[in-house]
Amino acid sequence: MRQVIIIGSGPAGYTAAIYAGRAGLKPLVVASSVEAGGELMKTTEIENFPGFPEGLQGPDLMFKMQEQAERFGAEVLLDDVVSVDLEGDVKRVTLGSGDVEEALTVIFATGSAYRKLGIEGEERLSGRGVSWCATCDGFFFKEKNIAVVGGGDSAMEEATFLTRFATKVYVIHRSESLRASKIMQQRAFDNDKIEFLYNKTVTEVVGDEKATGVVLTDTVDGSTSTLDLDGLFIAIGNDPRVHLVHGQLDLTSAGTIAVDGRSSKTNLTGVFAAGDVIDDTYRQAITAAGSGTVAALDAEHYLAGLPKDLLDQATGAAPAEPVTASA
């Protein structure tokens, strides 16, 4: 049995592993079989992670985090967790290989997935004009023409934020009225850099090396048109990866794992959560990393309070000789 299993290998998971490793907890990181490193593996330039003034490539940052975690004794397993049993003192984690790992604590750092449009050109031009994060990528679109897809609060917020950089921001929405709150709509309506295109869906992103435009389909009459653009921001929602914990952990109304205040403590003792899977608001590499720190420290404090015999099972310490009364 182990002391800590961390599920997920994004900034939250690897940072938790660095802290748990340095605390001597020998964490197992179940990193995913095909998506180890998390969301930043899908992007190119990261310019807002502190400590790298020249910026660096997303995969380079994640390989450095993995290396740092392994340096302190973390074991990184390229496998997926397929089910979990989180009740009781000993948690059980079943892997895609069929193996079952046991631990006294589990940290969920499974992240969240931006919803995709599922159209031609979207994946191919991701990081080359197609983005899901205005905070991350807005800076790259100074004096450019760009569009935001979506009609909710986050689409309005992204569009308004992007006018700081872009010359023109189209908001493309599939129906004739927005879902966003009135105040967010009004803020966008008042911004003369924003133009609304209603009853339109984006059906293709065009471009070879980078996005150069989109094909729009009118949802009323089915006609198509093209719109030249330098970038497309997709703001149609986000799904925290919580399928493993349905029925076991409490979730918030936003679908994230519920934690107690500023801590990483879930409703079950010994189970912690960190990163984008608990965060409906900030969703940045540095906030996820900070949250991973909190989870590792919470797990460490929890372990310190467990009975010695339970801890000995996880650390492999020999059980103490029973004390017998001398004759």
- Give the binding site for ligand FAD (CB under 6 A): 7-13, 30, 32, 35-40, 42-43, 46, 48, 80-81, 109-111, 114, 127, 132-133, 136, 241, 244, 275-276, 283-286, 288
Distance (Å) of CA 140 to CA 130, 216, 278: 11, 24, 28
Q: Is 146 left (phi over 0), alpha (psi -120 to 50) or beta?
A: beta
Cα dihedral value 76, 44, 281, 261, nearest 10 = 30
Q: Is 137 a catalytic residue?
A: yes
- Closer residue to ligand FAD in complex, CB, 131/185: 131
Active-site position among 137, 276, 279, 298: 137
Q: Is 279 a catalytic residue?
A: no
Active-site position among 79, 80, 85, 133: 133
Which sign does the torsion angle of CA 309, 312, 316, 320 carry?
negative
- What phi and psi values does residue 169 have, to the nearest 5 degrees? -130, 115
- Closer residue to ligand FAD in complex, CB, 12/194: 12
Min dist CB 322 to ligand FAD, Å, is 41
CA-based nearest residue to 269, from 243, 241, 305: 305
- Can you spell out the DSSP letters for 236-282? S-EEE--GGGTTTS-B-TTSSBP-STTS-B-SSTTEEE-GGGG-SS-
- Closer residue to ligand FAD in complex, CB, 88/96: 96
Min dist CB 62 to ligand FAD, Å, is 8
Min dist CB 127 to ligand FAD, Å, is 6
Min dist CB 110 to ligand FAD, Å, is 4
Question: Six-digit token pair at 137?
Answer: 């990528």
The structure tokens 């803020």 sit at 187
Q: Is 133 a catalytic residue?
A: yes
- Closer residue to ligand FAD in complex, CB, 3/32: 32
- Closer residue to ligand FAD in complex, CB, 136/229: 136
Min dist CB 149 to ligand FAD, Å, is 15
**Active-site residue list:** 133, 136-137
